[in-house]
Chains A and B, each alone.
Chain A
Amino acid sequence: MNNPKGTEMFKRIRYCMVCFFTLGLIISINPFLQMAAGSTVADVVTYREWPEGGKNKENGRALTAEEHARYGIDFNSRVDIEIDSAQLKSRLVDKVPGGLSERALKVQARIRELKETSRQINGSMITLKQALDDFSKAKEDPQLWDNAKSSIKIFSDQMMSIILTLKKAMLLRLETEKPDIDEKTKTGMVAKQTDLIFAKGTYDWNELVLLYQQEMTALDKELGKLIPELDKLQMEIQGHIYRAGGSQGEPIPLSRYNEVKLCVPTPLPKVTFNVPGDQLELFNEYSKTVQTMKDAKSVAEALRIQLAADTKRLKAALEQSFEGAAAAAKDARQSVEAMKFWTNEDNADGWADEAKKKVGSAPEAKKIIADYKQLQLDITILYKEAKSEIEVMTRYSEMRSSIAGQAPEEAMITIMKGINAISYQIKQPGIKPELLLPEALRPSTWLVKKADVEKLIKSIKDSAPALAAKLETVKFEERNPLQDAQAVSEAFNKMAEQLKTVNNEIPGWLAQVLQLPPAIATSEMQRPDGQERFSIIKEDLGSSFDLQTICGQRSEYDQVRISYKFYDNNAELDAGWHNDFQLRKYGWKDSVVAGISFTKQRSTNTYKPTASLSWILDHTSWPGTKRDGTIEKGVGGKNDIELFSGVGLTSMALDFDPTQDTELGLGLTLSFLNNKVLIGYGADLQAREQKGFWFFSINLFQTTGMFPGNANQIK
């Protein structure tokens, strides 16, 4: 008889090892399991940035694609785009026109079952650890045995489901691959593979995941063979750059996919001593403003004066935007309200009955009436969207009365509170509340809607031209859906025209108040020259773009959008997505900031305002790998908002010495919060005595050099 004490001791040691082993696996296998979980955008596309510096210079920085994700990349980098064809096929299966055959649907169901069960693997590691912990606790406190039993049951059921699903998939695969062999042999073949999972310790989790992947890959292949239509689908990748401050996308060269002109590779210097045009303009504006400003008696007063100068400028632009929004909303309201008639099913059915009298019940007539009914459904969706956007614009325009008579600073606070309130009070499904107002104020939003309506009208007219002409005259309660849709299209166009009068700065400023990244309107994307489309069965579908070969000036905070589109013949499928990259300067860089500086000598009690121009030198660390092993995004990463933003020099005109006509001050400057706060000590170069002075400048309301935005708030 063996020694029970020894066995117990051995089990305790093994138990501790199992705990550590399991914990380690939970951490290390996690990313692997994500890959096994399904064909997400991240499975299909991988980006690799080749930066000019930093730790990733040699091996590149892998960026995992997410739908609509935004990353920070250095503005001198090259980015490779790698496409996994098998995963792409798997992602597009649901988009095959005409649907799948019964056999293909069965295979698809098996893939889904495998994918769903594979997602439980991670959970089973956790339930195993819980069961081990609970068993250990119950050994110390016998009252806890029921708790331990409950945990063991949860784990065992979960693991059993994982094993049985895998075995079932393996047996079904063997039935297809080797239909001639008997059941016993098949079972033996399956056991030979699954036994590897149980060869040592608790489980070989890697082996388990690999076997799941093996089955999923086999099923993906089988499905591919069952869907020849899948091979007919085509893919194109488009690339556009959006220069900071504009929303017009310009095509960029994407290897293999287009023939956009390549320029001589030009690495742009990051330390340039260059004064950007917008800052020079701002400096001139501030130079005029300070002439009417009083000296401040305290830091608080100086802040208030600066705020007043910034807000005065913005208030005027905002008031103008209220006017534009009011006019646009007023015109559109009536046309959009007219659409409400068609959101009522009875009205739509009533019209369809009238239509049947006119065109009969031949198959072609039935189809076009069905198309009209579809138009009615689309109008209902459009009505709901447009209604909340017009309401948000109306509420926005009404703010002009609430700020009447208010000082600029007070008005700004009222407006900012109002914007937040509007954004969260009016809800529209499928759109983030904070995006509603900036979207509604953008002319392109309404142009896109106009294009959507016109596309619908055209498709109906084209489907059966003769019948469509007849139906245009069919009315129910004096209304015709096509005519109403046409009126709405015209109203949207008028709205876009009126909103073009809104100062361009306003949507950007609103986005800053609401902490949004710069928005990009997809309707304004120009089709790249020589754009190519490839069959998705092509071996290598990858591409790359080199920021250095893009013609024209590129600046920090410009955005590159890589869009993926899929086609069946020439019809675009609803399967595309895009990834955005924000151009950033990593490593050493300089920036020039215009502002109003308040200067103070030791002997005086007041702060004199003066327009200043600061040159700031800063080092931004290259994005790398976080402690948890994930890749740092760059945008929204640790360097996105820098508490300390660098050191530099500030120059400003001074008026300390009454004996001098012209005085120039030059000061050493410390910059904080992305150059929003500057503090320094300088010398009056012309003063005969008391040359030294302190100064500070706060530029919170400037929209230039704004905070780069939060990567989590992506539309």
Chain B
Amino acid sequence: MRILDVRVETPKEKSDIAKGRVVLQSEISHPAKTVMVIRGTTPEISFFADNADGRSTAFPWREVVWVKNTAIFDEGQEIMLFPKKFMNHCAVVLDLEDKPVAWLKEDSSLTDIEEAFLKAGGSH
């Protein structure tokens, strides 16, 4: 799992955001990966992120990127990943063509997470 955060109100804030954007973009643009992008920092989200990590580590084509600070998203990127319909969701899974296909809430089960990854990896 890639965890992206920003040391706010420090001299490194800008560089953290810049580096985070590079990492996020590089994972999303991988030629053959399904990427789950998680946002937020609540304890529930932390638990969810652990589960998501568990469902990705055994599959080299699955990647989890936990964006703890939403400032890392490029302008308009967050709304593109989490449209209005899914504004209450904490995670989105991008398919092999980098298109968002599944959204999850923090109370999702392991089965929900697995299904989301399988949907992204398959022909939907």
Known: A135-B32, A153-B96. A195 touches B118 (CB 8 A): no
Interface flag for A538 (CB, 8 Å): no
Q: How far is the CA of A142 from the CA of B32 in the complex (A)?
A: 10
Interface flag for B105 (CB, 8 Å): no
Q: C-beta contact mask, B1-36 vs A, less than 8 Å → 1, else 0?
A: 111110000000000100110010000000110100
Interface residues of B in 95-118 (CB under 8 A from A): 96, 109-115, 117-118
Please name all residues of chain B whose beta carbon is closer than 8 Å to the beta carbon of A156 when the two chains form the complex: 117-122
- The segment out of B40-48, B57-65, B73-81, B83-91 that lies at the interface is B57-65
Q: From B121, which residue of chain A is reached at the shortest CB distance?
A: A156
| A14 with B57: CB separation less than 8 A | yes
Known: A156-B122, A163-B114, A191-B109. A149 touches B32 (CB 8 A): yes
Q: How close is B25's CB to chain A, nearest CB, in angstroms?
A: 14
Interface flag for A160 (CB, 8 Å): yes
Q: From A196, which residue of chain B is reached at the shortest CB distance?
A: B110
Known: A135-B32, A135-B61. A163 touches B118 (CB 8 A): yes
- The segment out of A1-9, A459-467, A579-587 that lies at the interface is A1-9
Interface flag for A198 (CB, 8 Å): yes
| A191 with B60: CB separation less than 8 A | no
Please name all residues of chain A whose beta carbon is closer than 8 Å to the beta carbon of B1 when the two chains form the complex: 2, 7
Please name all residues of chain B whose beta carbon is closer than 8 Å to the beta carbon of A647 when the two chains form the complex: none
Chain A CB within 10 Å — which of B19, B31, B111, B113 has the most? B111
Please name all residues of chain A whose beta carbon is closer than 8 Å to the beta carbon of B20 when the two chains form the complex: 1
Chain A CB within 10 Å — which of B2, B32, B112, B115 has the most? B32
| B114 with A149: CB separation less than 8 A | no
Q: How far is the CA of A44 from the CA of B61 in the complex (A)?
A: 43
The listed residue (A155, A167, A202) touching B111 by CB distance below 8 A is A167
A interface, over-half SS: helix
Q: From A194, which residue of chain B is reached at the shortest CB distance?
A: B111
| B2 with A160: CB separation less than 8 A | no
Q: How far is the CA of A135 from the CA of B96 in the complex (A)?
A: 13
| A152 with B96: CB separation less than 8 A | yes
Please name all residues of chain A whose beta carbon is closer than 8 Å to the beta carbon of B32 when the two chains form the complex: 135, 138, 145, 148-149, 152
Interface flag for A132 (CB, 8 Å): yes
The listed residue (B57, B110, B121, B122) touching A199 by CB distance below 8 A is B110
Q: From A158, which residue of chain B is reached at the shortest CB distance?
A: B122
| B31 with A4: CB separation less than 8 A | no
| B4 with A1: CB separation less than 8 A | yes
Q: How far is the CA of A566 from the CA of B12 in the complex (A)?
A: 82
Report the interface size class on chain A: 35 or more
| A153 with B122: CB separation less than 8 A | yes
Q: How close is A85's CB to chain B, nearest CB, in angstroms?
A: 34
Interface flag for A159 (CB, 8 Å): yes
Q: How far is the CA of A153 from the CA of B97 in the complex (A)?
A: 12
Report the interface size class on chain B: 20 to 34
Q: How close is A116's CB to chain B, nearest CB, in angstroms?
A: 19
| A160 with B118: CB separation less than 8 A | yes
Q: How far is the CA of A132 from the CA of B55 in the complex (A)?
A: 15
Q: How far is the CA of A202 from the CA of B55 in the complex (A)?
A: 7
| A136 with B123: CB separation less than 8 A | no
Q: From A15, which residue of chain B is reached at the shortest CB distance?
A: B60
Interface flag for A18 (CB, 8 Å): yes
Interface flag for A131 (CB, 8 Å): yes
Known: A1-B19, A156-B118, A159-B118. A131 touches B61 (CB 8 A): yes
Please name all residues of chain B whose beta carbon is closer than 8 Å to the beta carbon of A163 when the two chains form the complex: 111, 114-115, 118
Please name all residues of chain A whose beta carbon is closer than 8 Å to the beta carbon of B111 when the two chains form the complex: 163, 167, 190-191, 194-195, 197-198
Please name all residues of chain A whose beta carbon is closer than 8 Å to the beta carbon of B16 when the two chains form the complex: 1
Please name all residues of chain A whose beta carbon is closer than 8 Å to the beta carbon of B109 when the two chains form the complex: 188, 191, 194-195
Please name all residues of chain B whose beta carbon is closer than 8 Å to the beta carbon of A152 when the two chains form the complex: 32, 34, 61, 96, 121
| B115 with A148: CB separation less than 8 A | no
Q: How far is the CA of A142 from the CA of B119 in the complex (A)?
A: 24
Q: How far is the CA of A136 from the CA of B19 in the complex (A)?
A: 27
Please name all residues of chain A whose beta carbon is closer than 8 Å to the beta carbon of B123 when the two chains form the complex: 153, 157
Please name all residues of chain B whose beta carbon is closer than 8 Å to the beta carbon of A2 when the two chains form the complex: 1-3
| B31 with A145: CB separation less than 8 A | yes
| B121 with A200: CB separation less than 8 A | no
Q: How far is the CA of A629 from the CA of B40 in the complex (A)?
A: 52
Q: How close is B109's CB to chain A, nearest CB, in angstroms?
A: 4
| A149 with B96: CB separation less than 8 A | yes
| A198 with B110: CB separation less than 8 A | yes
Interface flag for A246 (CB, 8 Å): no
Interface residues of A in 1-48 (CB under 8 A from B): 1-2, 4, 7, 10-11, 14-15, 18
Please name all residues of chain A whose beta carbon is closer than 8 Å to the beta carbon of B55 when the two chains form the complex: 198
Q: From B107, which residue of chain A is reached at the shortest CB distance?
A: A188
Interface flag for A201 (CB, 8 Å): yes
Q: C-beta contact mask, A384-416 vs B, less than 8 Å → 1, else 0?
A: 000000000000000000000000000000000
Q: C-beta contact mask, A127-141 vs B, less than 8 Å → 1, else 0?
A: 000011001101000
Please name all residues of chain A whose beta carbon is closer than 8 Å to the beta carbon of B113 when the two chains form the complex: 198
Chain B CB within 10 Å — which of A2, A10, A156, A190 has the most? A156
Please name all residues of chain A whose beta carbon is closer than 8 Å to the beta carbon of B61 when the two chains form the complex: 131, 135, 148, 152
Q: How far is the CA of A149 from the CA of B34 in the complex (A)?
A: 10
The listed residue (A7, A14, A159, A201) touching B2 by CB distance below 8 A is A7
22 contacts between A and B (CB under 8 A): A1-B5, A1-B20, A2-B1, A2-B2, A11-B60, A15-B60, A135-B61, A136-B60, A145-B31, A149-B32, A149-B96, A152-B32, A153-B121, A153-B122, A160-B122, A164-B115, A194-B111, A195-B109, A195-B110, A197-B111, A199-B110, A202-B59
Can you add 16 more A-B contacts, CB < 8 Å, to A152-B34, A160-B119?
Answer: A1-B3, A1-B23, A131-B61, A132-B59, A138-B31, A142-B31, A152-B96, A153-B122, A163-B111, A163-B115, A163-B118, A167-B111, A190-B111, A198-B54, A199-B54, A202-B58
The 3 closest A-B pairs by CB, nearest first: A156-B121, A156-B122, A191-B109
